Amino acid sequence: MTLAHMANSPSPMESAIGMATINSLIEVDEQRCVELNAGDLLAAKGEGKRVAIVGHFPFVPRLHKVVKELWVIEKKPQEGDVTESEAENLIPRADVVGITGTAFTNHTIERLLGLCNPNAYVVILGGTAPLSPVLFDHGINAVSGTKVVNPPLALRCVSQGATFRQIKGIRLLTMKNDQR
């Protein structure tokens, strides 16, 4: 099995390796990207609106201050989050939807996208999110992901056990669909 094909594996670890392989092979068109954190994008698009986020991210407390309603849907809910079983009730009601890129590795991306209101602003975000315009063909408005700009430095950080926020040698980029 090639590394990229591992993205289809039922094993979360193998699937994550497959997605990392795919992401490393994508030629990111930086002309289509801006340096913009997903939390800032979701705050701007979600101001005064109903927002559903699949995955608990560090910017959630800040979103609570600017959005009308915020639903954080999580497999392992923290205080204030809702369980993933609520996705069917909440995502269709959201004006703005943020979906973790981990939905690719746990194979829930199609189901989650299918729940989105066709008029919702949809963002795929996180380190697993592929910075590819192909996603725009599937109703996604923006992808906020990571590009490794200094592989040796990023590898050293990861091999030393760095958390995502501690990894150096990366850039947080957002690619927006100009057609939607």
Rounded distance, CA 91 to CA 75, Å?
15
Q: How far apart, in whole angstroms, are the C-alpha atoms of residue 126 and residue 7?
A: 16
Instruction: Check pLDDT > 80 for residue 1.
Output: no
Question: DSSP string of 1-46?
Answer: --TGGGGG-SSHHHHHHHHHHHHHH----GGGEE---HHHHHHHHH
Asked: is 30-176 a CATH 3.40.50.11590 domain? The reply is yes
Average pLDDT of the residues of the chain: 92
Closest listed residue to residue 52, CA positions, set 103, 10, 8, 106: 103
The pLDDT value given to residue 45: 97
Supply the pLDDT for residue 82.
96
What is the spatial distance between Cα 138 and Cα 150, in angstroms, rounded to a whole number?
Answer: 31
For residue range 80-115, what is the model confidence (pLDDT) as tens digits?
Answer: 999 999 999 999 999 999 999 999 999 999 999 999
Residues in the chain: 180
Domain parsing of the chain, residue ranges:
30-176
Which of 6-15, 53-62, 136-145, 167-176 has the least mean pLDDT? 6-15
Burial class (CB in 10 A: 0-12, 13-18, 19+), 134: exposed
